[in-house]
Amino acid sequence: MLVVAGLGNPGARHAHNRHNIGFMAVEAIARAHRFPPFRARFAGRAAEGAVGGKRVMLIMPQTFMNDSGRSVGEALRFHNLGQDSLVVIHDELDLAPGKVRVKVGGGAAGHNGLRSITAHVGNDYRRVRLGIGHPGDKALVYHYVLSDFSKAEMVWVEVICRAVAEAMTLLVEGQDASFQNKAHLALEAAGIADHAAG
């Protein structure tokens, strides 16, 4: 089984925050692959289904971002899985809006959700980094990630979440580079790859 955790903060107030793009992507995966409804489990909302013939659990921690590791750790322990069975989808300040990158391990780069997960399960899990851009000043980051995507930004956000969902079979098969490429091709096909950052 693969555990795919999308990061965000619970509640309607945060639903369209930049920090919640991980939740948005996981919800898109659930729709695209016809998962059953999410239910309360592991201090989060979880759903189990299949992607490309492989069993997958989608989870959205409801602990608030800073304590995401508690929820993710519970899910891994319950299923007796190691960090090699974990994929975390999260917002990335250091990537331009709409960019998608996959990497294993690395630092938290100030992301409290990643810091919490690393503290609970170790550092060598796969991360799907969804670029949201940087406000340009470190002092502005807190407000920036907790503010909503604009209506114009939501166009590329929806495209990239749908692209991640459609390319998920490649990620499940360990074809990380092909997954990245397919996601970017979807943005190009939608005609917004070059001006997602605009």
Whether the CB-CB separation of 158 and 27 falls below 8 Å is answered with no
178: tokens are 């092909």
Question: Is 197 among the domain residues?
Answer: no
pLDDT for 189: 86
How many domains does the chain fold into? 1
Distance CA 156, CA 153 (A): 6
pLDDT for 190: 79
Active-site residues, by number, are 19
Question: Is 147 among the domain residues?
Answer: yes
pLDDT for 198: 41
Q: In Å, what is the CA distance from 81 to each residue of 63, 125, 128, 151, 197?
A: 21, 12, 19, 39, 37
Whether the CB-CB separation of 153 and 97 falls below 8 Å is answered with yes
Question: Is 156 among the domain residues?
Answer: yes
Q: What is the CATH number of the domain that holds 181?
A: 3.40.50.1470
Question: Is 196 among the domain residues?
Answer: no
pLDDT for 101: 95
Domain range for 169: 2-189
Question: Is 198 among the domain residues?
Answer: no
Distance CA 157, CA 138 (A): 23
Sequence-separated (6 or more) residues with CB below 8 Å from residue 2:
51, 54, 55, 56, 57, 85, 86, 87, 172
Q: What is the mean pLDDT of each run of 10 residues along the chain (198 residues)?
A: 98 97 98 98 98 96 96 97 97 93 89 96 96 94 96 94 95 94 87 54
Question: Is 113 among the domain residues?
Answer: yes
Beta-carbon count within 10 A of 142 CB = 11
pLDDT for 188: 85
